Amino acid sequence: MSTMNSLSSPDTRSDNEKHTNIVTIKSILKLDDGDLDEGAKFLLEHPQHAEYSPEEAEKVLKKIDLMLMPIMTLIITFAAADKIIISNAAVYGMRKDLNLVGTQYSWLGSIFYFGYLIAEFPANFLLQRFPVGKTLCLSFAVWNVVLMCMAAGNNFAAMASMRFLLGMGEAFLFPGCSKYIAVDRTAENRTGVKNRKLKKDQIIEAAKDWKTWIMALFALCNNISNGGLVTFAAQIVSGLGYSPIRTTLLGMPTGVFMTTSSWIIALVTFFSPRKFRTTAAAIVCLCPLICCVLMMKLPRENKTSLLIAYYFFYFYWGPYVCMTAICYANTAGHTKKTVVNAVNFTAYCVSNIIAPQFFITSEAPGYATGYHSILGFTTASFLCIVTYGTGCYFENKRRDKKFGNADDNFDAEVDALDSTDKQKEAFFRYVW
C-alpha cells in the first residue's frame, strides 16, 4: 500500500513521470510472488485506479471506520465481560457454592489464559484458511454455549474446564478483529499488508531484534496489573466494607478510567508537535505506581481515598494500548510482524496466568503480595517504555545521519517487497 503515493498524482503530471510509473509497475511485477507484498501487488496490477483525490481517500476511510469500529467495539466489550464477571460472582457467593479452597479461585482466573494461549495459533491458521466472518460467527457461538454452561458448574473441576474452553473460544476474537487493522494501512506506515510466504530470514531478524524482546518484557510486566485486578477487582472493593450490590456498582467506573488513560495518551500525542508517544505512555505509567503505594500505606478505614487510588490503578491500560500500537507501526515484513505479535501475545497470556497467583486469599483484604508484585512489574514496564523510546530515537538519528531524509530516499520497488523495517532502513523511521 505504500506504493499508492508513488502511483497516484494529479492529471497534470508530465509524460516522463507517467512513463516512470509504468516502468516501476512492470519491473515490480516481474518479482517472485513470495517477495511481493500482496497489497502492493494489488495496487500495481490495477494502475487504472491509482489516481484519486485526498477527499475520496478520506471518504473511504470514514466509511470503513463507521462500519467496522462500532462492531469491533461491541465485540470486544462483550468479550471483556466474561473476564470480569467471575470477580463479581465471587462476592455473591461463588466461592462457597463451588467449595473453593486455597488458591483454586486464583487458578480459575489463570486457566482461562491457558486455553487462550493454546488455541490462539490454531485460530490464526483457521482465520487464514477460511472466511473470517463465518469462522468468527462459529467461534462466538461456541463461546456463548460454553458461557451458558458455566451456570451448571458445581465444583472447581467443572468451572475450571469451562473457563479453559471459554479461553479457547475467545482466542479467535482479536486476530479476527485485527484483520481490519492489518489492511487499513496508509502509505506513510510503510509496513506492508500481507505475504503468505514464510520467510526464515525474517524469523531470524525478529529473534535478533532488541525491540521484540523489550516489547515482550513490557507486555509481560504491564499485564500483571490486568491479570490481578480483573480477577480480584470485586474482592478488592468489597474488602473496603461494601455490600455485594454496592461493590458491583462501584466497579463500573473502572472501564471509564481505562478508556480515559488511552485518550489522554492519544490527545497528548495528537497535539504534541514531536509526537512523544513513549514519553506520554511513560508518564501515565507512573500513575499505577503511585496507586500501589497508596493502596499499601493508606489506613483501611479511609475508604474513599483507597477507592480513588484503586480506580487510578486502571491507568495501566493506556500505556499498553499505546505501546502495542507503536509495536505494530515499527514492525515491517509479514513474517516478522507475525513472529513479533506471537511473542507479545505469549507474554500477555503468561502475565495473565501468573498474576492471579500473587493475590493470596489469606492476605485479603490487603493483598500485600499482589500490590508488591504490581509495584515491581509496573516499574519494570516503565523502564521498558523508556528503553524502547530511547532506542528508537537514536536508531532514527543513526539512519538520518547515514541516509539523510527518509522521504528523499523512498523507493517504490523496495517498498513493494515484503521487506522488513531493517531492510527498508534508508526510508523507514521508527515512531517513538
pLDDT tens for each residue of 212-252: 999 999 999 999 999 999 899 999 999 999 999 999 999 88
d(CA 295, CA 287): 12
In a domain? residue 39: no
d(CA 328, CA 203): 16
Q: Cell 485485527 maps to which residue?
A: 178
Query: Taking the mean position of all CA atoms in its chain, how far away is CA 169?
Result: 18
Whether residues 259 and 291 fall in one domain: yes
Helices (H), 35-103: 38-45, 54-89, 95-97
Whether residues 82 and 222 fall in one domain: no
SS3 content of the chain, % helix, strand, coil (to 5): 75, 0, 25
Whether residues 227 and 318 fall in one domain: yes
Q: Retrieve residue 145's grid coordinates.
A: 454455549
> What Cα–Cα distance (Å) separates residue 199 from each residue in 190, 364, 419, 421, 424?
19, 50, 10, 14, 16
d(CA 358, CA 227): 10
In a domain? residue 14: no
In a domain? residue 399: yes
Q: Retrieve residue 361's grid coordinates.
A: 486469599
Please report the pLDDT score of residue 49 as a whole number. 54
CA-based nearest residue to 225, from 306, 317, 100 = 317
Whether residues 174 and 215 fall in one domain: no
- Cβ distance 282 to 389 under 8 Å? yes
Please report the pLDDT score of residue 180 as a whole number. 44
Q: Retrieve residue 125's grid coordinates.
A: 491458521
Whether residues 160 and 223 fall in one domain: no
pTM of the predicted model as reported, rounded to 2 decimal places: 0.81
Integer-rounded Cα radius of gyration of the chain? 24
In a domain? residue 35: no
In a domain? residue 200: no
Residue 146's domain comprises: 55-187
In a domain? residue 31: no
Q: Retrieve residue 211's grid coordinates.
A: 525491540
Which regions in the chain score pLDDT beneath 50?
Answer: 1-29, 179-188, 190-191
Whether residues 240 and 133 fall in one domain: no
Please report the pLDDT score of residue 307 as a whole number. 94
Whether residues 163 and 232 fall in one domain: no
- The residue count of the chain comes to 432
Q: What three-state secondary structure class fits 373? A: helix
Give the CA-trace dihedral at 56, 58, 63, 67, to 10 degrees: 160
- For residue 358, what is the enclosing H or E element? none
Whether residues 63 and 159 fall in one domain: yes
Whether residues 126 and 260 fall in one domain: no
Question: Considering 131, 155, 187, which residue would you say is the last residue of a domain?
Answer: 187
Residue 418 burial (10 A CB sphere; 0-12, 13-18, 19+): buried
d(CA 250, CA 392): 41
> What Cα–Cα distance (Å) separates residue 327 from each residue in 95, 320, 344, 392, 414?
40, 10, 10, 11, 22
Please report the pLDDT score of residue 298 as a whole number. 92
Whether residues 180 and 219 fall in one domain: no
Which residues partner with 36 through β-bridges?
A: 417
d(CA 432, CA 330): 9
In a domain? residue 256: yes
In a domain? residue 403: yes
Whether residues 376 and 415 fall in one domain: yes
| Phi-psi region at 158: left, alpha or beta (left = phi > 0; alpha = psi -120 to 50) | alpha
d(CA 248, CA 259): 19
**pLDDT tens for residues 306-362?**
999 999 999 999 999 999 999 988 998 888 988 898 899 899 999 999 999 999 988
> What Cα–Cα distance (Å) separates residue 404 from each residue in 47, 378, 412, 432?
30, 37, 17, 19
Give me the phi and psi of 366, to 5 degrees please: -75, -35
The residue type of 170 is E
- Cβ distance 288 to 373 under 8 Å? no
Q: For the chain, what is the total number of helices (H) and then of strands (E)?
A: 19, 0
What CATH number should be reported for the domain holding residue 406?
1.20.1250.20
**Tally of domains within the chain:** 2
Residue 85 burial (10 A CB sphere; 0-12, 13-18, 19+): middle
Whether residues 179 and 218 fall in one domain: no
The residue type of 23 is V
